[in-house]
Amino acid sequence: MRDDWSSGLQLKRLAQDKNADILFWVGCTAALDERVVKVTLSMVNILNKAGVNFDILGREETCCGDPARRIGYELLYLELAQKNINLFKTYRVKKIVTLCPHCFNTIKHEYPQLNPELQGKDSKN
């Protein structure tokens, strides 16, 4: 169900096209909540109209781990974060765009604590 929102769209997956400039990290809510899927589709439309070369992970995308960490389930957070960090490395992800403020905060501020390579050059992004 993770990428059901994208059915009918011709979106590239990083597994098939490793040359994207940007990974569009959809996030759990934006992928699974029918009310928010409209926003996700609008974002895809904006990225396409702007000519942005982006891919999604599709079914490879999992939770960023933020909810697990917030309720104190640190082990699950670490497992999810490490899996995602490994995917970023495998696909040589350089930039990520996401709609979710929780995913943004976790990926931007907490993942670099686990893997300093992820620390961006510009801390204002």
pLDDT for 82-118, tens place per residue?
999 999 999 999 999 999 999 999 999 999 999 877 7
- Asked whether residue 88 is domain-assigned, the answer is yes
**Facing residues of 98 across strands?**
25
- Asked whether residue 123 is domain-assigned, the answer is no
Instruction: Over range 67-87, report the average pLDDT.
Output: 97
> Residue 125: is its pLDDT beyond 50?
no
Mean pLDDT of the residues in the chain: 91
- Asked whether residue 67 is domain-assigned, the answer is yes
Contact 55, 26 (CB under 8 A): no
- Asked whether residue 125 is domain-assigned, the answer is no
- Asked whether residue 122 is domain-assigned, the answer is no
Q: At residue 82, what is the residue type? A: Q
What domain range is 23 assigned to?
4-117
Instruction: Over range 1-10, report the average pLDDT.
Output: 89
In Å, what is the CA distance from 103 to each residue of 7, 10, 16, 95? 23, 24, 24, 14
What's residue 121's pLDDT?
56
- Total of domains in the chain: 1
Nearest Cα to Cα of residue 45 among 3, 10, 17 = 10
- Asked whether residue 78 is domain-assigned, the answer is yes
Q: Which of 7-11, 16-20, 31-35, 68-72 has the lowest mean pLDDT?
A: 16-20
Q: How confident is the model at residue 3 (pLDDT cuts 50, 70, 90)?
A: confident
Cα angle, residue 102 at apex, residues 71 and 44 outer, rounded to 5°: 140
For CA atoms 59, 100, 11, 17, give the dihedral sign: negative
Contact 62, 83 (CB under 8 A): yes
- Asked whether residue 124 is domain-assigned, the answer is no
